Amino acid sequence: MSRGSGKGLSLKDKLDGNELDLSLCDLNEVPVRELAALPKATILDLSCNNLISLPSDFCSLMHLVKLDLSKNRLQQLPLDFGRLINLQHLDLLNNRLVTLPVSFAQLKNLKWLDLKDNPLDPVLAKVAGDCLDEKQCKQAAVKVLQHMKAIQSEQDRQRQQKLQAEREMEKKREAEQRAKEAQERELRKREKAEEKERRRREYDAQKAAKQEMEKKTKKETVHTRKPASSSRPPQRPRHKLSWSRSVLRVLLFVLFCILCTLAACKLTELQHQPLCVSMNTLYEDVVAALQNHKTLQNMLQHNS
């Protein structure tokens, strides 16, 4: 690559042991793919180039131990810059950085840091201090890491508070939803009970009307039948009537037999027989007795 992009540049020719020097190459972007192919290059010098930003995949170069990005035009570092967990030495002198990504707190192995000549946020600038000698640069690494860890903790706390608030809000919404559903169920239950009660009242009203109609019809039937029954003569008990008829039939049968015998005794040659003489005499006596027996006459007249 051209010197501006880095293509055509042989990185292996620049590699000296574990040090790779790409300074003063007029680079405006980092050849990440080529650098990833050289995992033994743990010391990388990209100083004095035209880098405005680092690509996000730059943070995949986790084998880097020492990194020099001084005297570029970097305005910010990638958000996941903290993935470079093996980094111990970082030079960011003379760039355009204002803040550092929160993930910077994950650089737990960082021992040396230079942030001079950057338009840093006043708080961060005060924490970093100067890096005029080895001791100050080491102190800057420790203090900046502590500061970024505090920021990370605060952000984590705020994030947890936000998550907790969202959970509480979600619980509240769920509770309100449950309450609403309970109210709807109660309303449906009440409406169902009211409908059932209405139907029961209608059923009772219909039943009462039907019973009233039956009573009215029964009364009308009784009033209609009563005159007809009152016009009839009182009937005698059926068992008495049946007994009277049986007696009458027996008497009629006996009378018929007697009449037949008397007829035979009077109209035939048997009239001079002793039996017929006795029968004729008995007949005359019975007739005389019947004529004098008023009670039997009344009974016979009534039955006839």
Mean pLDDT across 205-223: 85
Whole-prediction pTM: 0.57
Percentage of the chain modeled with pLDDT above 70: 82
pLDDT at res. 222: 78
Please check the confidence at residue 9 and state whether its pLDDT lies above 90.
no
Break the chain into its structural domains and give their ranges: 11-155, 273-303
Mean pLDDT across 122-134: 94
Mean pLDDT across 166-178: 91
Instruction: Look at the block and give the residue holding tokens 């007697």.
Output: 258
Give the phi and the psi of residue 42 in degrees, each rounded to 5: -85, -15
pLDDT at res. 1: 41
Instruction: Look at the block and give the residue holding tokens 């990638």.
Output: 78
pLDDT at res. 259: 73
Please check the confidence at residue 238 and state whether its pLDDT lies above 90.
no
pLDDT at res. 179: 93
Please check the confidence at residue 2 and state whether its pLDDT lies above 50.
no
User: Out of 4-8, 114-118, 150-154, which region has the weakest mean confidence (pLDDT)?
Assistant: 4-8
Helical (H) or strand (E) element with 91: strand 89-91
Assign 21 to helix, strand or coil: strand
Tens digit of pLDDT for each residue in 25-53? 999 999 999 999 999 999 999 999 999 99
pLDDT at res. 236: 56
Tens digit of pLDDT for each residue in 243-300? 777 778 888 887 777 777 777 776 676 666 676 777 777 777 766 666 666 555 665 5
Phi-psi region of 57 (alpha: psi -120 to 50; beta: other; left: phi over 0): alpha
Third-level CATH fold of 11-155: 3.80.10
User: Hey, which residues does 112 pair with through a beta bridge?
Assistant: 89
Q: What is the CA radius of gyration of the chain?
A: 68
Mean pLDDT across 184-203: 91
Tens digit of pLDDT for each residue in 89-111? 999 999 999 999 999 999 999 99
